A = this chain, B = another copy of it.
């Protein structure tokens, strides 16, 4: 029997708090889950620094990846199976892409990518196509199979339908993470009737569409997404932790480039510092490694690196204030100068962070990030873009919301044992007194 159609002698079942059970019948899927590269995702948190705001958010990308797989499995096995627009040969392709779509994520991806100019999507590609256990397993299903899976994840595949299952404005990825992140953080947002949405999904040549009768469930999903972004993902305290994390990496890199002599050699960071990170080195990175170094750096001689590492581990975060970059540019300059005078390096201790999101968007060809809109299938079979049918979605469609905050170390600013006058000026500018 072909490996790609081989079934397990007995179905394997994972207990999952979000989807109740995750079912694996395919030998190929089971083998992928057992690979070293996939197991590594257990050691990478799904929400990075969010656990410092919502203490329940300690779940890993392993969790989420299984969840996305399960959603695609249900769509394929319970909804699409037998429909003429659905090619059952695409089932395994979709399942593998779902399971592996986050394979290239590293520890605290957001910050690492920014500081070291990495791209987790590229690493996903390299892991799938490179000399890895994952690649070996995929190869068994066909020489060309790894590449096909990779193209789905990279959205370069011609199979637009399967791509849209994994990456669109209503894909399995989003449906899992909204619910999962809501579950683990404990927030009341993030709930929508996924079972309903799955039941009204229909395959079309180039995209999954939603039967019109499910429009309200989709509206609810879009509102959930909106709330999760602003209540959880862009929470200002999480961003504070992220600011500190980014600055730790920044400082370590700067020190390295300045030939600083580390007490404890950061061997796992060298290729990052040099911009020569290979996929093999990358796979070894996980949050344990990073937190190990942060612990070591708590005893470094460099004041800034030491202080920032302690802050992160002891959750001694920066405070923040609203900041309008358009109007308050001058104030930022003043603050920067005052920080310098007070001996607080503004490069590391005075940080503007901005978050921005579009809750939903219709199609704008040629724009920076072309986002596939959601399409409804009307009773007569016609297809119509969601915001043309839903007044609620139309009202928010294409409306970008942006938030800017200015982060600073409040305890230092209030410590009047040195530079009391300058600090008072700083506090006045920050409207703290």
Identify the A interface with B (CB < 8 A).
13-18, 20-21, 34-36, 39-40, 42-43, 51-52, 54-56, 58-60, 62-63, 66, 183-189, 191-193, 195-196, 199, 216-217, 219-220, 223, 226-227, 230-231, 284, 286-292, 295, 313-316, 359, 391-392, 395-396, 399, 401
B residues in contact with A34, CB < 8 Å? 314-316
B residues in contact with A54, CB < 8 Å? 15
A226-B392, A227-B219, A392-B226 known; A315+B39 contact, CB < 8 A: yes
A289 B284 Cβ-Cβ under 8 A? no
Which residue of chain B is the closest to A231 with respect to CB atoms? B216
Give Cα A195–Cα B187 distance, bound, in whole angstroms: 11
For this complex, 16 residue pairs linking A to B, each with C-beta atoms less than 8 Å apart, are A15-B54, A15-B185, A17-B183, A21-B199, A36-B314, A39-B313, A39-B314, A42-B52, A42-B55, A43-B291, A188-B220, A219-B227, A223-B392, A226-B392, A288-B292, A395-B399
Question: Out of B17, B40, B223, which one reaches A220, CB within 8 Å?
Answer: B223
Give Cα A101–Cα B186 distance, bound, in whole angstroms: 24
Give the shortest distance, in Å, between A347 (CB) and chain B (any CB).
26
Given A34-B316, A395-B396, 6 extra CB contacts under 8 A = A17-B186, A39-B313, A187-B193, A288-B288, A292-B292, A395-B395
Give the shortest distance, in Å, between A196 (CB) and chain B (any CB).
7
Give Cα A14–Cα B186 distance, bound, in whole angstroms: 10
From A62, A288, A290, A395, residue with most partner B Cβ within 10 Å: A288
Give the shortest distance, in Å, between A21 (CB) and chain B (any CB).
7
B residues in contact with A226, CB < 8 Å? 392
A288-B295, A291-B43, A391-B399 known; A186+B16 contact, CB < 8 A: yes
B residues in contact with A191, CB < 8 Å? 188, 191
B residues in contact with A40, CB < 8 Å? 313
Which residue of chain B is the closest to A359 with respect to CB atoms? B392
Give the shortest distance, in Å, between A400 (CB) and chain B (any CB).
10
Cβ-closest 3 pairs across A and B = A17-B186, A395-B395, A288-B291
Give the shortest distance, in Å, between A318 (CB) and chain B (any CB).
15
From A13, A186, A290, residue with most partner B Cβ within 10 Å: A186
Which residue of chain B is the closest to A54 with respect to CB atoms? B15
Question: Out of B20, B223, B289, B401, which one reaches A295, CB within 8 Å?
Answer: B289
